[in-house]
Amino acid sequence: MKKTLLSVVVLVLLVSGFTMYQAEDADENRGYLVKAGDMAPDFRMEFTDGKTVSLKELRGKVVVLQFTASWCSVCRKEMPHLEKEVWLPNKDKDFILIGIDYDEPLEKVVAFQKQMEVTYPMALDPGAEIFAKFAHKKSGVTRNVVIDRNGQIVFLTRLYDRSEFEAMKKKIDELLR
């Protein structure tokens, strides 16, 4: 009996320790499947104007992928800052900021862009297939992926944290020098 009880206690401790390790790992990665230093996975995207481009075709530019959705309140909070502080000052440089809308139809994305008064390009992500190359599908939007001219991921954000946003802007400025 004592041996069985001891075995159960050891098993419970092992399982709970493993579960805690998984939770800490998930928190540390913030739902991302990629990390800074990885090469960005290639994909093809369609913009709201019907044009298409692959990420690989954007090599030579600093790229920011902003994963967003019309139903996301934090995205709505962040987008005016992206427009004013990231897109407008850099749009005439070797730079592109692309809003990638999480699984919404064209009409909704066009209306969302107009409502938010952002001029940076927006792309569609049917089935969140592009999103799934960077993060777990259920991990939530409002994330930015900064990619250098060679296609390497150099900075990742999650949610809208002002200090993290400022660090992202600093990284973009460094890459554009």
80-114 tens-digit pLDDT? 999 999 999 999 999 999 999 999 999 999 999 99
* H/E segment holding residue 166: helix 162-176
User: Contact at 8 Å (CB) between 76 and 56?
Assistant: no
Query: Would the pLDDT of 140 be above 50?
Result: yes
For residue 144, give the nearest of 153, 152, 136 by alpha carbon.
Answer: 153
Return the pLDDT at 155.
Answer: 98
Identity of the highest mean pLDDT range in 12-16, 135-139, 147-151:
147-151
CATH assignment of 32-176, given 3.40.50.150, 3.40.30.10, 2.60.40.10, 1.20.120.330? Answer: 3.40.30.10
16-60 tens-digit pLDDT? 443 333 333 344 688 999 999 999 999 999 999 999 999 999 999
149-160 tens-digit pLDDT? 999 999 999 999
Query: Would the pLDDT of 5 be above 60?
Result: no
- Boundaries of every domain in the chain: 1-30, 32-176
Return the pLDDT at 9.
Answer: 43
If you average pLDDT over residues 135-157, what whole number do you get?
96
CA angle 101, 79, 35 (to 5 degrees): 65
**Local confidence band at 3 (pLDDT 50, 70, 90 cut-offs):** low
Cβ partners under 8 Å of residue 58, min gap 6: 96
CA dist list (Å): 45 to 48, 57, 94, 99, 171: 10, 11, 19, 11, 25
Query: Would the pLDDT of 79 be above 50?
Result: yes
